[in-house]
A and B are shown apart, each in its own frame.
Chain A
């Protein structure tokens, strides 16, 4: 019989070892710095920016970047720099919540499909296929038109369209687990199904779930930004990036590049940052 204490510390050791290797990965570090920067902007931005991101100043509208307005002003004379900084807030609220919801839903679905197999798996798999046959943006357009545009609808739509992808990953991870002896042992002990699913299997399939969740967070930001750009996501007067681009890109041929370029770079840097973090976690866990 092994002493539970030593087992615990051995587990602790590999965990710390993974973490150390993770921080040594250059791509992860760059990604983490970018993401933390935007999270900082989302939390502390409103009290740090030089101008009120909502204050109109029609006399100074569409001014190019200057020492007073670093990124220039938009068509209502609002300071673009302040809006870009504060614009991180809404997307970094909506996207992570949607991702967590889809992870919970997808994990439950995947555990069920993988553990029960047979007809349950077959039926749920077909449903998953049907949802995956449509691009998320299209599903979102249909649902948002039917239910009306609101943040809650955006959350639900993303949760439901990402859950099948997570379910697929979890399902294949569970399939390799269900044949192992500890599951048979738990079944012999007559543990409840819920106990076997969430206490026995779940901890063993956490690594792929973690990777999938980070990747999905990138796509949730992708989707929220896209929906905001086409007017079905975050609503005005939020300084959200996608929303600002959609309000200003019509004037792009007039040469007012500063009203769209900085918001575009903000979105690009955030998604790339999250992607680098996901890539770092994936290669650390796979080695």
Chain B
């Protein structure tokens, strides 16, 4: 299933990079370039071959780790992609470490105060934070904490050889817009899971057995409530990556987002396609891992007791 989705994705991306621009050489050299130069360039890049041959070549290369050569840098794409992915992973990790506990806490608090003011406020604030574009919250954060208070650096890029704490210090401010985007989703899922668990019969049984409130919440409700949240957290990685493009531009950080952006600006199609394909692959991978983790944590699936 995942493979099928990935294959469809590869076709879409290939179409985006190879077929839509029409004449790739012309698109790169501009409308006033010499026709012979365009032809030579197309021949060099192999873009004058039949479309199916190009696709087969591209996808075969991708599977074996050869992602083609960047038009802009005239060198293989893969090393650029790996460095960028590692940098983005650092930023995403900081955002996730902050947002997952916060989101779950928010959802749990909302569920325990269901229908009251705290629930309503958390829901409206959470959803509002989710729809404000990252660059908008980023600008406001830079103004307040970077320029006026001068607590954090306004560029995410650190000097070469900086220690992990310096790196972390640079990544705090850029990660907050991502936290704001994700908080609402995670809190909402955690809240829904909590409410379902709170209303379940086993919870009533636990209460009637005379267990303390704390024991009921920790041992019976939370365990069941947070299971569905895991799969949501995994799918949120896509939103996170969409946000990375903007955040990495705003905070001048060399990650996968700025790699795709630069490639798009320079019409560097091999780089662009490799970057987008990597994101699609990452999405498929995280979805798969989330399913496995969910199955691992859920005894009903773990012991093969299918309904």
> Which residues on A are within 8 Å of B, measured CB to CB?
27, 126-127, 129-138, 141-147, 218-219, 222, 225-226, 229-232, 242, 245, 249, 252-253, 255, 257, 260-261, 264-265, 267-268, 271-272, 274-276, 279
> B5, A136: Cβ atoms under 8 Å?
no
Contact B17 A127 (CB under 8 A): no
B222 within 8 Å of A (CB atoms): no
**B 269-299 contacts with A by CB, 8 A:** 269, 272-273, 276, 279-280, 283-284
Whether A218 lies near B133 (C-beta < 8 A) is: no
SS class, residues of chain A in contact with chain B: helix
Beyond A146-B269, A271-B131, 9 additional pairs, beta carbon < 8 A: A126-B4, A138-B245, A142-B264, A142-B276, A145-B21, A145-B263, A229-B133, A255-B147, A271-B132
19 CB contacts below 8 A, A to B, read A126-B8, A130-B6, A133-B5, A133-B9, A134-B9, A134-B279, A134-B283, A141-B245, A141-B272, A142-B13, A146-B269, A219-B131, A245-B136, A249-B142, A249-B250, A261-B140, A268-B137, A272-B128, A279-B127
Considering only CB atoms, which chain B residue lies closest to A229 in the complex?
Answer: B135
| Complex interface: chain A residues within 8 A of B147 (CB) | 252-253, 255, 257
The answer to whether B261 and A142 have CB atoms under 8 Å apart is: no
Question: Contact check: which of A137, A147, A218, A275 meets B242 at CB < 8 Å?
Answer: A137
Contact check: which of B9, B130, B243, B265 meets A130 at CB < 8 Å? Answer: B9
Beta-carbon nearest neighbor of B19 in chain A: A146
Is A147 touching B20 in the complex (CB atoms < 8 A)? yes
CA distance A132 to B238 in the complex (A): 9
Query: Do B132 and A133 touch (CB < 8 A)?
Result: no
User: Which residues of B have CB within 8 Å of A279?
Assistant: 123-124, 127
The interface size of chain B toward A, counting residues with CB under 8 Å, comes to: 54
A267-B9 in contact (CB<8A):
no
Task: Tell me whether A230 and B245 are in contact in the complex, defined as CB-CB below 8 angstroms, given that A134-B279, A146-B17, A268-B136 are known contacts.
Answer: yes
Considering the complex, give the chain A residue whose CB is closest to the CB of B137: A268
Q: Residue-by-residue, is B65-86 near A (CB-CB < 8 Å gives 1, otherwise 0)? A: 0000000000000000000000
B143: which A residues are within 8 A, CB to CB? 252, 257, 260-261
* Most chain B C-beta atoms within 10 Å of own C-beta, residue among A130, A219, A260, A279: A130
Query: CB distance B139 to A129 under 8 Å?
Result: no
Query: For the complex, is B246 an interface residue (Cβ under 8 Å from A)?
Result: yes
How many whole Å from B252's CB to the nearest CB in chain A?
10
Task: Pick the residue among B245, B267, B279 that contacts A145 (CB under 8 A).
Answer: B267
Q: Are A226 and B135 touching (Cβ within 8 A)?
A: yes
- Alpha-carbon separation in the docked complex, A132 to B242 (Å): 12
Say yes or no: A146 contacts B242, CB within 8 Å: no
Q: Is the CB of B16 within 8 A of A143?
A: yes
Q: 10 closest pairs, A vs B, by CB?
A: A135-B242, A146-B20, A130-B8, A142-B16, A145-B264, A271-B131, A133-B283, A272-B128, A130-B9, A141-B264
Q: How far apart are the CA atoms of A193 and B27 in the complex, in Å?
A: 44
Residues of chain B within 8 A of A271, CB atoms compared: 128, 131-133
B284 touches A264 (CB 8 A): no
| Minimum Cβ distance to chain A for residue B279 (Å) | 6
- Residues of A near B241 (CB, < 8 A) are 135, 138
* Contact B136 A264, beta carbon cutoff 8 Å: yes
B145 to chain A, nearest CB (A): 12
Contacts of B239 in A (CB 8 A): 135
In the complex, which residue of chain B has the Cβ closest to the Cβ of A135?
B242
Partner pick for B5 among A126, A255, A275, CB 8 A cutoff? A126
B122 is an interface residue with CB less than 8 A from chain A:
no
Given the complex, which residues of B lie within 8 Å of A135, measured CB to CB? 238-239, 241-243, 245, 279
Please state if A226 and B8 are interface contacts (CB–CB under 8 Å): no
Given contacts A134-B280, A229-B133, A268-B132, contact A146 B139 (CB under 8 A): no
- A146 & B246 in contact (Cβ 8 Å cutoff): no
Q: Are B17 and A142 in contact (CB under 8 A)?
A: yes
User: Which single residue of chain A is at the shortest CB-CB distance from B266?
Assistant: A145
Query: Which residue among B6, B128, B241, B269 has the maximum number of chain A CB atoms within 10 Å of its CB?
Result: B128
CB-defined contacts of B216 to chain A, threshold 8 Å: none
Give the chain B neighbours of A133 by CB distance below 8 A.
5, 9, 238, 280, 283-284
CB distance from B119 to the nearest CB of A (A): 12
Closest Cβ–Cβ distance, residue B144 to chain A (whole Å): 10
- Which residues in A have their C-beta under 8 angstroms from that of B284? 133
B154 touches A (CB below 8 Å): yes
Complexed CA–CA distance, A211 and B261 (Å): 33
